[in-house]
Amino acid sequence: MIDHVYDAAVVGAGPIGLELAVALKRAGLDYVQFDAHQIGHTMTWWAPQTRFFSSNERIAIAGVPLLTADQGKATREQYLTYLRMVVDTFDLQINTYEPVTGLRCEGDLFQLTTRPRSGERTWKARKVILCTGGTDRPRLINVPGEDLPHVSHYLGDPHQYFRQKVMIIGGKNSAVEAALRCHHAGAHVSISYRHPELAAGEIKYWLVPEIRGLTHSGRIPAYANSTVIKITPTHVHLTVISSEGDIEQKAVEADFVLLMTGYVQDNALLKLAGLELEGPTQMPLYDPRTMQTTIDGLYLAGTTVGGTQDHYKVFIENCHDHVEKIMQHAFHKSAEVNRIVVDQPES
Ligand SMILES: Cc1cc2nc3c(=O)[nH]c(=O)nc-3n(C[C@H](O)[C@H](O)[C@H](O)COP(=O)(O)OP(=O)(O)OC[C@H]3O[C@@H](n4cnc5c(N)ncnc54)[C@H](O)[C@@H]3O)c2cc1C
């Protein structure tokens, strides 16, 4: 394997990595693709039946229509089924469960090290495209008790919270969605967030009236202006600033605690490759006209470009053009897909 030089190595098989793979295959290029997990891994940890906020035509890839039986927005299950179908249709070969752990430039070639279960492997490619996403790990809040077994950064199946006291931490979409789903699954939900109001602009618009109704009526007790101090096996300890500016300590009973505080990018590979990362969100530097980084032949595609996004601006729907730009710049080919051009994400 070490002697073979591929035209391209694609790291990551999320929606954009797969869309790129279809373009490479259509162009007859000799490429190899890896994913640390299964294809579409990022969607696999969403709670069952979570719906995309994007319309189906905006998250469809490679010109293959994404259809749902009720014409509604796809759930993660429908989208994962769709991704498998795309892989089968184009017979894409993906080395899954094979993380890329090393990447270095040697003259005009790249050497990649991967770690499948069977050991270590080495690969060579003329171009490398990192499609590794930006939501690899939960954003920790670093309080005592965060690692207790009843505390999680992932919602999981709401069924497990039936008739349990669930404290949800966070004021954006994932917190609100978790609060509503647990409430509807029969949990006794409360929610704590740092600001005076929930971040309505960052919540799926159809969830906002319901969460407002439930918190205003007290059916979901809401602790605005609150900060978690510590978590014990039975309580969440909060500091709450009242509307009069008084500081109070509160201990809220909780059987389960869901820390819906967002996700961060694992940028170890980007750093290892020698990429420059910028600002507090550690966005990798690249040329948006070509998607090439500061290293010749090393490209970025998909949400990798956003670093750790505090306010999500880079989504599947505004990354499709990365594929065409890379095909043009790196390979002087076209992605050959007829698609609707989307400038702004729909929210
Ligand atoms: C709850 C939730 C809802 C969302 N809803 C939407 C929505 O409605 N619309 C939308 O556009 N976006 C949505 N997103 C964001 C969405 O997940 C991303 O936009 C999408 O997954 C990005 O696709 P991607 O191909 O850029 O990266 P990803 O899907 O994140 O794929 C990256 C892949 O790279 C792999 N990888 C990472 N590191 C390595 C490595 N070192 N070696 C090999 N493989 C590696 C990962 O395993 C992963 O499979 C949502 C996110 C969440 C959490």
Domains of the chain in sequence order? 5-137+263-331 (3.50.50.60), 140-259 (3.50.50.60)
Which ligand 1 atom is nearest residue 52's CA? 8
Distance 333 CA to ligand 1 centre (A): 26
pLDDT of 190 above 60: yes
* Structure tokens that stand for 118 in this block: 């069977």
Ligand 1, CB within 6 Å, residue ranges: 11-17, 34-37, 41-42, 46, 50, 52-54, 59, 99-100, 131-133, 135, 174, 269, 302-303, 315-317, 319
Nearest one of 137, 189, 199 to 168, comparing CA atoms: 189
- Percent of residues, the chain, with pLDDT higher than 70: 96
- Stretch 111-134: mean pLDDT, rounded? 97
- Stretch 162-183: mean pLDDT, rounded? 97
pLDDT of 339 above 70: no
pLDDT of 206 above 50: yes
* Structure tokens that stand for 216 in this block: 């205003």
Residue 86 DSSP code: H
Which ligand 1 atom is nearest residue 100's CA? 42
Out of 58, 315, 317, mutate this one to test ligand 1's pocket (max ligand atoms within 8 Å of CB): namely: 315
- Distance (Å, whole) CA 306 – CA 249: 37
Q: What is the pLDDT of residues 297-316, one digit of tens each?
A: 999 999 999 999 988 889 99
Distance 302 CA to ligand 1 centre (A): 8
- Distance (Å, whole) CA 155 – CA 50: 10
What is the identity of the amino acid at 257? V
pLDDT of 208 above 60: yes
pTM attached to this predicted model:
0.94
Nearest one of 17, 110, 1 to 322, comparing CA atoms: 17
- Distance (Å, whole) CA 300 – CA 317: 16
Residue 119 neighbours by CB under 8 Å, 6+ apart: none
What is the predicted pLDDT for the residue at 343? 55
- Distance (Å, whole) CA 221 – CA 189: 7
Unique residue bearing structure tokens 């909060």: 238
